[in-house]
């Protein structure tokens, strides 16, 4: 019964989304106030319907209703409640319902908080959002019904893949979707602007908070996924340049560019056409990611649903939305004349360089991801494009990006001079050079990590130099404190986000120096690694809610004193008959102590021990970046101009 209600709610949501598309867009074209005014209530009704469908889905998973196919395939009564609920979106159908729910939430937020939006612009934005939602709801209804029944119902479900039984599953997809879907809103704003044929500073002021919120969530989502892989997979790796990871990186790169160029629209009314294009691109990449993950066209994949029918449907949606938007862009884009002028060496110029480099990086990732498919189709050659390619090809773009990143915020608008900027950065350059040489000297001429440390210090000190310059710390130290209070939060946020990337680079460079040790050990034996003594004390049995395990006790000592006791496990899940390894990780400021338990033979257990230098800083940096985005969202300029972003900011701060 509840399942059927959920299914009905999805159909209702589809109809409401269609109405939300047609009425406001038609009304805006005919300047009919009543039709435009229907957009808000329709968006709220659509949100209610989606929420009802999602609630029904959670319910059938919570009570383990085995007459629903989706529950049978992905759940089991013995699972802890958290994973029963998280399992609701740990599969293709359920995750699509979450997707449309988040989209409806964004639409509801635009409708509810966008009272200051010009009526026609608001109607068009909601109309476009409705169109996007309608397409995906139709996709769910036609190809991926999450409430399909099975008769007779089996006694219990088949269980969720043990690897997915992790808090990571509960948060990773929602955060990623908040990012992807947030770019649907900037997409809607861009299409609305094209329909109106006008982009102005007010438009930029509306787009920026949405881009910021989406970007912050996407940053968190990607970082969480990477951290999850790091601790769950037990290899100590954190980024694999897998097509699916690349699919989330693409909208992030385009979104980062969008974020920066929206600033130029807002402040200087320049780069309008370019910003609209980036908004289309960011959402286009989000859809492309959805397509790649769910169609199984690529040799990768974490694809939950390798189903050609679904792939074709999503490809159709992709072509319809993105092709349509680009056609509209080609038609209306040239009409939007730039008004702000600037010389190449200026803040605007710096942001153009930022966009150029980020988009080139996105192009490299896109080409690298799709090339194996092209080579197969065009040249009939089977090739692989893996991490060694991406690391090499992305480097010539990253180096100038990082170099310019510290200098950009110090340039003045319109026309800048280079020398004063360099004068303010000399100590950052000195620090970076010191870090680079120190690393080369201490770690034995390893160029990659040394470059990473140099770049990290350059970015962190560069962000400090930017702040110091803004509060005139060195010129008028007495007034610095009061100036710091008056500094716009957007400036704090930007500096923080730039420094956050520096922190992440610090972690990546540290991981370049990580060491590990693989050996078969007997209880009582110990090995030396990374300046620590690791002693295996015992291996014993352990029992969990739906698994049994072998659990090792490893004591880590430094200079005879115990640093920590690690308990790596090998878990066996009877449902599904599978084994997982649970790495034991001790996180500290200087790095992670990481232990994995392997198979046992003749009283000896295989242990893989890692000393991952500075590893936690990778994700700490991402957290700092997202925090920078959140602080920027609370900027007075945005709060005053766009109350809708308050909610997004509150959400971002909570996350």
Q: Which positions from 485 through 544 interact with other proteins, judged by CB under 8 A?
A: 518-520
* Residues 174-233 interacting with other proteins (rule: CB under 8 A): 225-226, 228-229, 232-233
31: helix, coil or strand? coil
CB of 441 to other proteins, least distance (A): 20
Q: How far apart are CA 129 and CA 611, in angstroms?
A: 48
Cβ nearer to other proteins, comparing 300 with 634: 300
Q: Which pair of tokens denotes residue 16?
A: 């409401």
Q: If binding is defined by CB under 8 A, does position 653 make contact with other proteins?
A: no
CB of 522 to other proteins, least distance (A): 13
Q: If binding is defined by CB under 8 A, does position 343 make contact with other proteins?
A: yes
Cβ nearer to other proteins, comparing 50 with 552: 552
**Residues 284-315 as b or e (16 or more Cβ within 10 Å = b):** bbbbbbbbbbbbbbbebbebbbebeebbebbe
446: helix, coil or strand? coil
Cβ nearer to other proteins, comparing 194 with 303: 303
Q: Is 32 exposed, middle or buried (0-12, 13-18, 19+ CB in 10 A)?
A: middle
* Residues 290-309 interacting with other proteins (rule: CB under 8 A): 299-304
β-pair partners for 578: 573
| Residue span binding other proteins (CB under 8 A) among the ranges 76-84, 235-243, 438-446, 523-531 | 235-243
DSSP codes, 221-272: HHHHHHHHHHHHSSS-------HHHHHHHHHHHHHHHHHHHHHHHHHHS-SH
Cβ nearer to other proteins, comparing 59 with 235: 235
Q: If binding is defined by CB under 8 A, does position 244 make contact with other proteins?
A: yes
Sign of torsion over alpha carbons 333, 339, 343, 345: negative
| Residue span binding other proteins (CB under 8 A) among the ranges 313-321, 380-388, 450-458, 615-623 | 380-388
CB of 356 to other proteins, least distance (A): 4
Q: If binding is defined by CB under 8 A, does position 41 make contact with other proteins?
A: no
Cα-based torsion angle of the residue sequence 249, 301, 165, 235 in order, rounded to the nearest 10 degrees = -80
Name the nearest CA neighbour of 610 among 519, 508, 523.
519
Per CB under 8 A, the list member of 196, 242, 307, 469 interacting with other proteins is 242
Q: If binding is defined by CB under 8 A, does position 74 make contact with other proteins?
A: no
Site string for other proteins, 161-180 (x = CB under 8 A): xxxx----------------
* Residues 382-411 interacting with other proteins (rule: CB under 8 A): 382-389, 392-394, 396-397
Cβ nearer to other proteins, comparing 439 with 552: 552
Q: If binding is defined by CB under 8 A, does position 479 make contact with other proteins?
A: no
Per CB under 8 A, the list member of 364, 373, 443, 651 interacting with other proteins is 364
* Residues 546-585 interacting with other proteins (rule: CB under 8 A): 576-581
* Residues 302-341 interacting with other proteins (rule: CB under 8 A): 302-304, 337-339, 341
CB of 409 to other proteins, least distance (A): 21
DSSP state of 601: E
Q: How far apart are CA 181 and CA 221, in angstroms?
A: 12
| Residue span binding other proteins (CB under 8 A) among the ranges 60-68, 359-367, 417-425, 492-500 | 359-367
Q: How far apart are CA 91 and CA 532, in angstroms?
A: 42
Per CB under 8 A, the list member of 82, 312, 335, 367 interacting with other proteins is 367
Q: Which pair of tokens denotes residue 567?
A: 């308990």
CB of 250 to other proteins, least distance (A): 13
The values of phi and psi at residue 176, to 5°, are -60, -45
Cβ nearer to other proteins, comparing 209 with 243: 243
**Residues 131-145 as b or e (16 or more Cβ within 10 Å = b):** bbbbbbbbbbeebbb
Q: If binding is defined by CB under 8 A, does position 597 make contact with other proteins?
A: yes
CB of 426 to other proteins, least distance (A): 28
Per CB under 8 A, the list member of 81, 377, 378, 478 interacting with other proteins is 378
Number of residues near other proteins (by CB under 8 A): 74
Cβ nearer to other proteins, comparing 245 with 635: 245
CB of 504 to other proteins, least distance (A): 17
Q: CB neighbours of 536 closer than 8 A, spacing ≥ 6?
A: 521, 522, 523, 524, 525, 526, 552, 553, 554, 605, 607
CB of 167 to other proteins, least distance (A): 14
Q: How far apart are CA 632 and CA 252, in angstroms?
A: 17
DSSP codes, 515-529: EEEEEEE-TT-EEEE
Please state whether the peptide bond connecting residue 210 to the residue before it is cis, i.e. omega within 30 degrees of 0: no
Q: How far apart are CA 67 and CA 83, in angstroms?
A: 19
Q: If binding is defined by CB under 8 A, does position 235 make contact with other proteins?
A: yes
């Amino acid at each position: 019964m509840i399942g059927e209600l959920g299914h009905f709610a999805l159909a209702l949501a589809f109809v409401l989304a269609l109405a939300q598309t047609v009425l406001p867009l038609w009304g805006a074209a005919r300047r009919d106030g009543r039709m435009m005014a229907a957009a808000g209530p329709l968006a709220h009704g659509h949100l209610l319907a989606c929420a009802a469908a999602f609630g029904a889905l959670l319910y059938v998973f919570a009570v383990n209703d085995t007459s629903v196919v989706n529950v049978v395939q992905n759940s089991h009564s013995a699972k802890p409640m958290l994973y029963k609920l998280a399992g609701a979106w740990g599969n293709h159908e359920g995750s699509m319902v979450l997707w449309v729910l988040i989209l409806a939430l964004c639409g509801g937020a635009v409708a509810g908080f966008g009272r200051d939006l010009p009526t026609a612009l608001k109607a068009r934005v909601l109309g476009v959002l409705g169109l996007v939602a309608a397409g995906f709801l139709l996709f769910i209804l036609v190809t991926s019904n999450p409430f399909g029944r099975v008769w007779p119902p089996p006694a219990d479900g088949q269980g969720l893949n043990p690897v997915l039984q992790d808090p990571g599953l509960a948060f990773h997809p929602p955060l990623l979707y908040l990012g992807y879907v947030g770019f649907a809103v900037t997409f809607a704003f861009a299409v609305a602007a094209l329909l109106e044929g006008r982009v102005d500073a007010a438009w930029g002021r509306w787009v920026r908070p949405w881009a910021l919120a989406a970007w912050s969530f996407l940053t968190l989502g990607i970082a969480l996924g990477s951290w999850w892989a790091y601790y769950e997979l037990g290899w100590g790796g954190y980024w694999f340049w897998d097509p699916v990871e690349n699919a989330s990186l693409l909208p992030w790169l385009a979104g980062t560019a969008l974020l920066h160029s929206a600033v130029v629209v807002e402040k200087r009314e320049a780069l309008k056409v370019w910003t609209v294009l980036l908004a289309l691109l960011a959402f286009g990449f989000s859809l492309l990611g959805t397509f790649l993950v769910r169609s199984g066209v690529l040799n990768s994949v974490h694809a939950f649903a390798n189903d050609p029918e679904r792939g074709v449907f999503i490809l159709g949606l992709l072509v319809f939305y993105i092709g349509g938007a680009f056609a509209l862009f080609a038609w209306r884009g040239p009409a939007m004349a730039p008004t702000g002028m600037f010389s190449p060496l200026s803040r605007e110029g710096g942001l153009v360089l930022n966009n150029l480099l980020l988009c080139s990086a996105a192009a490299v990732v896109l080409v690298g991801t799709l090339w194996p498919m092209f080579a197969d189709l065009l040249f009939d050659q089977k090739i692989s494009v893996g991490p060694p390619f991406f690391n090499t090809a992305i480097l010539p773009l990253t180096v100038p990006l990082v170099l310019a990143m510290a200098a950009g915020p110090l340039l003045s608008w319109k026309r800048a001079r280079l020398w004063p900027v360099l004068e303010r950065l000399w100590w950052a350059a000195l620090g970076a050079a010191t870090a680079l040489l120190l690393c080369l000297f201490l770690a034995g001429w390893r160029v990659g990590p040394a470059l990473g440390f140099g770049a990290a210090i350059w970015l962190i000190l560069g962000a400090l130099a930017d702040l110091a310059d803004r509060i005139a710390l060195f010129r008028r130290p007495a007034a610095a404190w009061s100036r710091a209070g008056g500094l716009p939060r957007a400036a704090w946020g930007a500096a923080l986000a730039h420094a956050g990337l520096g922190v992440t680079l610090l972690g990546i460079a540290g991981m370049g120096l990580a060491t590990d040790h693989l050996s078969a050990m007997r209880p009582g034996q110990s090995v030396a690694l990374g300046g620590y003594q690791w002693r295996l004390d015992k291996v014993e049995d352990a029992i969990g809610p739906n698994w049994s395990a072998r659990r090792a006790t490893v004591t880590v000592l430094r200079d005879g004193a115990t640093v920590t006791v690690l308990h790596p496990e090998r878990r066996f899940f009877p449902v599904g008959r599978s084994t997982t390894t649970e790495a034991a990780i001790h996180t500290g400021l200087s790095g992670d102590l990481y232990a994995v338990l392997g198979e046992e033979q003749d009283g000896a257990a295989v242990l893989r021990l890692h000393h991952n230098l500075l590893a936690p800083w990778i994700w700490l940096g991402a957290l700092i970046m997202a925090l920078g985005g959140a602080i920027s969202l609370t900027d007075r300029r945005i709060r005053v101009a766009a109350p809708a972003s308050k909610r997004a900011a509150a959400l971002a701060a909570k996350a």
